[in-house]
Structure 1
């Protein structure tokens, strides 16, 4: 059996394992540090998300009305089900 694949696979496992451990540790420590800031930002994010959802719903309604109006102007029969 060749030794090159064994060495490379072992090296790859060690490097990926070390990187995953450090990434998890970094995210955990960062989360602990920013825990207080998240509560303040959560309300702002929810308000912004609500505004985006409202604009999206109104644009869908406007597009629906525009489509129906254009269809009637062109003489298409578009009955409501």
Structure 2
């Protein structure tokens, strides 16, 4: 019996099995990475929403303070 085909088929099987293992591992890691990036994106969006809310509240407060000051000093608004 010739051992070359047996060796080459065995080697080919090992190479394909190793390739499939690393392909599955890579896809699994990419899925975890995507979930982690989604969590980071959610955190950044939440923080930027808080900053925008604080900015809008401070802008509203400044506007109300300005109107109160104008009325207190009897200035013409129109």
Q: Give the TM-score normalised by structure 2.
A: 0.53
Displaced runs of 4 or more, over 4 A: none
Larger Rg: 2
Q: Which runs of 5+ in 1 are unaligned?
A: 1-32
CA displacement at 1:39 relative to structure 2: 2.0
Once superposed, what is the RMSD of the aligned Cα atoms?
1.8
Alignment of structure 1 residues 13-52 onto 2, 5 Å: 36=33, 37-52=36-51
Q: Give the TM-score normalised by structure 1.
A: 0.51
Q: How many corresponding residue pairs?
A: 46
Q: Which runs of 5+ in 2 are unaligned?
A: 1-29
CA displacement at 1:78 relative to structure 2: 1.2
Instruction: Provide the secondary structure at the position in 2 that maps to 1:76.
Output: coil
